[in-house]
Structure 1
Amino acid sequence: MLVESLEVIIDDSHAMVSTSVGSEHYVSFLSFVDEDLLGPGCSVLLSHEVHAVIGVLMDDTDPWSVMKVEKAPLETCGDTGGLDNQIQEIKESVELPLTHPEYYEEMVSIMFIEEIDAIGTKKRYDSNSGGGREIRRRVLNC
């Protein structure tokens, strides 16, 4: 969720909102939004998934308190059935760097060379041609 500023109401179901960095977006209102509270300059709660206004914040509302999770979910990864491989991938990519940062101190770099022979050559070329020299130069300079 995002907290945005309502700039202009375009019609009964659409408006322009601006972000804190100055970009403007054309969004719609969901049906349960109280249109009487909407007006230029008011703070609105925007769902980034549906790109629509889902609520209006009053002046005394703290935007961070609206976005805060009030109660931690009780579900665990074990409650999800049939996704063991995906759960393991998430654990390896999210939990492992936090629990074992020493594994990531010296990262391996991989260079993929795909169709390197296409650099400056024809389909058939002489190995002593300029294209062959260009390939060797580029590979050795990587």
Structure 2
Amino acid sequence: MSAYLLLFATAFGAATLLPFYSEVLLVAQLNRGLDPMLLWLFATAGNTLGAVVNWVIGWHLTHYVDRRWFPVRQQALDRAQRWFQRYGTWTLLFSWAPVGGDALTVVAGIMKVRLWLFLPLVTLGKGARYAAVILAAQAIGN
């Protein structure tokens, strides 16, 4: 069970802005013979919950825009909001992407996307990525 929890924690960290790479651990655990379905479940759940942390941060982020220490300029924030308004909540299906995926989940929070809409889209995208990693690893391993 500890191997699955380690994958959950690594996937959770990978969904935040921390430099974690859960796919490497996932493939290593798959090669050790752990259950692919449980690996998929723990990785998807951890990564999705990490994205929820990003969403919560984004939801509350705009309260601090006027502070000097705030790390993002208003202009960049406005540009991200316009982009999200243009392409919509369906972009959350791409929250799995290594570049920009985490930012999408933060912007979704800024844009006040409801959690009931956020969760299934992000879970579907992240679950599909982990399924693809597992299938690819199994195909290469055979």
Question: Given the two structures, how large is their TM-score scaled by the length of structure 1?
Answer: 0.23
Q: Which has the larger radius of gyration?
A: 1
Which structure has more helix as a fraction of its residues? Answer: 2
Question: Given the two structures, how large is their TM-score scaled by the length of structure 2?
Answer: 0.23
Which structure has more strand as a fraction of its residues? Answer: 1
